[in-house]
A and B are shown apart, each in its own frame.
Chain A
Amino acid sequence: MFYHFYSKNDYRAEKEKKECFTESLLAITNDNYVDAVARLLFKAEASKPFVTFSCELICFSEIRLWFFSRELRLLKNWVPLRMKHLEVYLSKISSSTCNRWFSKESPIFCFRWGLNRYKGYLGPTFDMTAYSGGWQQHFLHPRSMISTDVMGGPTHRILMVSDFFYPNFGGVENHIYYLSQCLLKLGHRVVVLTHAYGNRSGVRYMTGGLKVYYIPWRPFLMQNTLPTFYGTLPIIRTILIREKISLVHGHQAFSTLCHEALMHARTMGYKVVFTDHSLYGFADVGSIHMNKVLQFTLADVNQVICVSHTSKENTVLRSGLPPEKVFVIPNAVDTAMFKPARSRLNYDKIIIVVVSRLVYRKGADLLVEVIPEVCRLCPNVHFIIGGDGPKRVRLEEMREKHSLQDRVEMLGAVPHAQVQSVLISGHIFLNSSLTEAFCIAILEAASCGLLTVSTRVGGVPEVLPDDMIVLAEPMPSDMVQAIKKAIHMLPQIDPQEMHLRMKDLYSWYDVARRTEVVYDRALKCSDENLLEHLSRYLTFGAWADDIDEVPDIKLPFYQDEDVEGISWEPKPK
């Protein structure tokens, strides 16, 4: 059954409201009924105009009951003042018309609904509660309100788990943040779970009402929580119950917290989605260990998302998953933040920008070979190197050795907010990584209008179209040739046009919508029998342990109207 709800009236007169509406008829069919017609008309009341459409109810008692328990219960969520009027109205109508319209064949329910285009505002302002399963069972259960998001699908309550989140800045962190923001805009509810960073522990709220739990487990190695197998079970279980989570989404294979959370969530019967952000090897000790852990975790996961096709191949090989379970959803870039320079730079001095962590994995050693060669061959080329790391010393030595102090500028660590200003000062972006599942850095560079030169590794060839990137093998000689080719290509590049193309190609909203599809698929996965017991244990567990459920708080600053605030009325158990 499909139905769309749009709300938010705009305090206009009745006539103007009708002009603003575009009407459309949407047929709802129940499986058992096909023929009879019921049109539902609610008159919108001027005092608190949550309702934008008018519906007329011509139905018979059976359908009226259906509406009361399913549709009207939903509407009750955001038509709080008018339920009484509605019920009275309906009872008046149904008695007179039920004979006329009663039919033993199946009824089709038509909803006439309006779209408020006044401000171009599309979207629900009512709060969502979780979809709790088949509606027939929860017929009159007040909690089983089926809520819809903007596109008409069910909304989810998602828990994102990873060791890597704000205040760290990196690919995974940005991915989680942007994806969460877009999912919030689409109407879902997102909670993030990560470990404490320094003094930052407890509950924090980010933009848009994104709730982050910084649980006070200290990281022990490279930002990873100490992997005690059952240590995090109590806190994860508490959070899953109090936030009424419906789906757990773990990020990054290297994150121990993610693995533990996925394992515990699966044990408790939640649906689980995993996203892998990196490529890993097969041969060395660390990789073998990591792959074993991954096999254990992913054996039971519902769906997996990889950021590129190369990454999908890698993940499937490492974990032994069936490829049908793996989706490919690429990352995206915030094109609003990465805008090109207003005026084009002149070409007498070509500036090549490198912004990356100066570690082995990112090919800092290649840079050490490539930069002197390029400087020797092309006298008008300058380099700007942003970033810090263990290999910085080598680059400084290279600078000294070849006396390139005036041609190579080292900026040190660049804060995330200033990356854009560093990028727009150059013509070409050089990426020399030795392995990349998906390189967001080159997306950022392309969004700023820079031509990219990169090593042909991992998922990099899949990221940009051929006229925006020059690829080379990860060897110094090949890279030098590629840079020369890029310098020749430079006059044909238009930064603004590149930026606009990137805007079309990559957007986080697109990623969020595709991820939604994955979530819907994951939630449709069949339950096992044991899980019925577990879900019963869950409800009993929450009762027994007094885990207080968190109410849905509507934060006023991201909505257009006044909000009543928190409703703390206890829900009947």
Chain B
Amino acid sequence: MCNCNSLRMTMVTFANGRYTYIHDDHGGPFQAVDSHHIVVQRISTRRFLVYIATLLLLANACNILMLKENYGAVLLWSIVLGFFLAKSLYWKRVLKESVVVMPTLGVQLETHYGSGRIVRRFVPMGKILRSVLNECVTPVTCYWSLAFILRGESELMLVFQELRPPVKMLVPIWKALCAATESKENSYTVTEDSH
């Protein structure tokens, strides 16, 4: 209860989009920590459709079972198919991606999957040269992505690996990252010179 007063939550929901942006600027004991979450909204109609689709598939499998005699193969195939469906729809599904900025230490990037698995990557502050907003062009579309330019590496590191949030949500995260990295820039250039 005492933390709720100092908890500033800005929710920016995109009009028809799937993403919700939550910004926790923790007050209280964790004042320096700044976390940004992008949550994928579960659309109820989509869930409903998914259930209908699985039911239809099962019905189809039973139908085939009754017509054919080869129970084993059909059962095997339906189990395999069901397994792949479950994997793509539930395990690999991303619930949330978050960026936790700790100004002196570094940035933690998390991806929460539907199966409960959480993948975390930590990037120390000294490693980040700059965070950039890129326009990525593919053969069919063009979208914005947030990435880090790391010292000593030739490839950019993407902040959001799985999701493609819209640029309005990326901008406050980018600003926060720039603010966090910039304050450390001076001290790190000094240490590099001394090496």
Contacts and interface: CB of A to CB of B under 8 A. Distances in A.
B168 A216 contact: no
Given A213-B142, A544-B16, A546-B17, A203 B137 contact: yes
Contacts of B139: 215-217, 231, 235
Contact of A203 (B15, B135, B168): B135
B166 A216 contact: no
B132 to A, nearest CB: 12
A216 B142 contact: no
A496 B15 CA distance: 64
B169 to A, nearest CB: 10
A215 B143 CA distance: 13
Interface string A233-246: 01100110010000
A436 B171 CA distance: 51
Interface of A: 201-203, 213-217, 231, 234-235, 238-239, 242, 543-544, 546, 548, 550, 568, 570, 573
Nearest to B172: A568
Contacts, number: 48
> Which of A201, A214, A235, A548 has the most B CB atoms < 10 Å from its CB?
A548
A384 to B, nearest CB: 42
A231 B141 CA distance: 11
Given A548-B168, A570-B168, A543 B16 contact: yes
A239 B142 CA distance: 7
User: Which secondary structure dominates chain A's binding surface?
Assistant: mixed
A216 B166 CA distance: 22
A238 B140 CA distance: 8
B144 A215 contact: no
A215 B166 contact: no
Contacts of B5: none
Given A235-B142, A543-B15, A214 B137 contact: yes
Contact of A546 (B14, B136, B171): B14
Interface in B1-43: 14-17
B138 interface: yes
Given A202-B137, A216-B137, A234-B140, 7 more contacts: A203-B135, A203-B142, A215-B139, A235-B137, A235-B141, A239-B142, A548-B143
Given A235-B142, A239-B142, A548 B166 contact: yes
Contacts of B135: 202-203, 550
> Which of B14, B135, B142 has the most A CB atoms < 10 Å from its CB?
B142
Nearest to B144: A548
Interface string B123-151: 00000000000011111111110000000
> Which of B16, B137, B144 has the most A CB atoms < 10 Å from its CB?
B137
B168 A234 contact: no
Contact of B171 (A201, A213, A231, A568): A568
Interface in B94-121: none
